[in-house]
Structure 1
């Protein structure tokens, strides 16, 4: 019905008007444009354009990508001439072996693209322009003070975890490895001397070595007392006071790691570089559907800019999910 009418007003019945002290009115609606004029127009085939930029717009509108063969036919110039005129607007992606617009090529994981461009430039000088353009859009490094890190962060190399253990427990025996396949730390740490392990950094029931193991492995820290046995074996009960004391020591260890990890300049620089290279890699993509003509769409409907942008995003990414706000009271 919405396609056949507009400005629908459900009206106000006499009973509702009387109850609410308002004026009654009849339901009304205006016939949509389809009743009075043609709202579909035939697709107009574009066979020639004047400039390389115009050819690019047609290519993106009709093919959703940079199609140099089509553009050559439209503008009547060689591929080399087109590429020269469109320098800075299109780039050849050496990893995907295809031409892409600047908006597409200079967004996303630009660090991985820069690495690929540098490798390609070493074999073909034409990719030097790619390197220059990608270097200009690299994300600004995140400073250590703004980097989220904690004892147990999976991106921190084993070397630094081991160095921290030496910092608090001394030269204890330890086996530390992060298993990326299962996303877990596997840790085994021998206890330090009693004062260090069970007084300074731990408790009598939960030594510092055990606390660090549980922090890294993301396991709960709990102290239990043996209160009896039955046919199934021993019976334990959580000792709330001792558990709280153990968790307090665990928090002190976590804070000690934060206090320690950024103090050494070489370690700070190495961790900041690792974090930025691994996580601070992307430039947010930009989607502009201004050029879309949408053949086959109703000429009586003018899409808003964000709607065209959403369509263009779906064309570029090959997938899209569009949602709309739904009134809480609506029932289906």
Structure 2
């Protein structure tokens, strides 16, 4: 709109009105940033991995790195076994001997709960059996990694500002419609009854919004709102028969 108005200044008023109704930017406390969210870049996931697991610098980005494939929607941690020996953070603090931290991170990125299987050899041959103890331990470590990520992701100021900007630009584009019922005349209503502004707005919501939840507190006048909305709907030809259903306990 701003680019268009450069050549057609008479539409400047449209730009002004559009700016007035833009959704307010969300801050970090209002944004859920979780492992696996594709709007968080590979670089940030790699940084989290390196700082949390103390991955040796000479491995990061070369032998161990995080990749996301847009075609398949899959995350991959390359070189999961490279740093498995001698790093207690990988095999004990954030991982187990059966599932190291890099594997748990990859599963978390792909929204998978890690499961550990044993290969059993018996008379019927070879088959895999779930190891419940190891699985429970691995999933506990996986939850720890997720919690660490929540603590880490917005801790750095630059990273927080960058991610908030990305999130708001990509997703924060919807603003709930605000209904104004000040113009409704309520033909035929008892003149002794005067609806409050919020009640008129609620009636407008019912008339124009197609579906409505009147989530008002006790005493806010929901009964008047429903009756007035029903009468207006019938008067305007929006409904033929209105049915009000009230549970017995109410």
Global fold match (TM > 0.5): yes
Normalised by the shorter chain, which TM-score bucket? 0.5 to 0.7
In structure 1, the residue matched to 2:180 is: 288
What is the alpha-carbon distance in structure 1 between the residues aligned to residue 161 and residue 205 of structure 2? Answer: 40
Cα separation, partners in 2 of 1:139 and 1:224, compared to 1, 3 Å: same
Contact 2:120/2:126 (8 A) holds in 1? no
SS in 1 for 2:165: helix
Contact 2:45/2:66 (8 A) holds in 1? no
What is the alpha-carbon distance in structure 1 between the residues aligned to residue 245 and residue 137 of structure 2? Answer: 48
Alignment match of 1:263 (pick from 149, 152, 155):
155
Stretches of structure 1 that go unaligned for 5 or more consecutive residues are 1-116, 315-319
Cα separation, partners in 2 of 1:230 and 1:217, compared to 1, 3 Å: farther
**1:150-196, Cα deviation, whole Å (9 max, x unpaired):** 222233123322322333334143352153x77x4332431242233
In structure 2, the residue matched to 1:25 is: none
1:204 equivalent to 2:97? Answer yes
1:131 equivalent to 2:26? Answer no
Cα separation, partners in 2 of 1:133 and 1:256, compared to 1, 3 Å: same
In structure 2, the residue matched to 1:177 is: 68
Stretches of structure 2 that go unaligned for 5 or more consecutive residues are 214-243
Contact 1:289/1:312 (8 A) holds in 2? no
Contact 2:107/2:113 (8 A) holds in 1? yes
Cα separation, partners in 2 of 1:195 and 1:201, compared to 1, 3 Å: farther
What is the alpha-carbon distance in structure 2 between the residues aligned to residue 306 and residue 144 of structure 1? Answer: 32
**Between Structure 1 and Structure 2, whose CA radius of gyration is higher?**
1
In structure 2, the residue matched to 1:250 is: 142
SS in 2 for 1:228: strand
Count of residue correspondences? 202
Relative to the length of structure 2, the TM-score reads 0.65
What is the alpha-carbon distance in structure 1 between the residues aligned to residue 166 and residue 248 of structure 2? Answer: 45
Contact 1:289/1:311 (8 A) holds in 2? no
SS in 2 for 1:130: helix
Structure with more of its chain in strand, by fraction: 1
What is the alpha-carbon distance in structure 1 between the residues aligned to residue 184 and residue 108 of structure 2? Answer: 54
Q: How does 1:1-332 map to 2 (within 5 A)?
A: 117-167=1-51, 168=53, 169-170=55-56, 171=60, 172-177=63-68, 179=70, 184-191=73-80, 192-193=82-83, 194-196=85-87, 197-229=90-122, 231=124, 233-240=126-133, 242-291=134-183, 305=200, 308-310=203-205, 312-314=207-209, 320-321=210-211, 325-327=245-247
SS in 2 for 1:195: coil
Q: Give the stretch that moved more between structures: 208-217 or 123-132.
A: 123-132
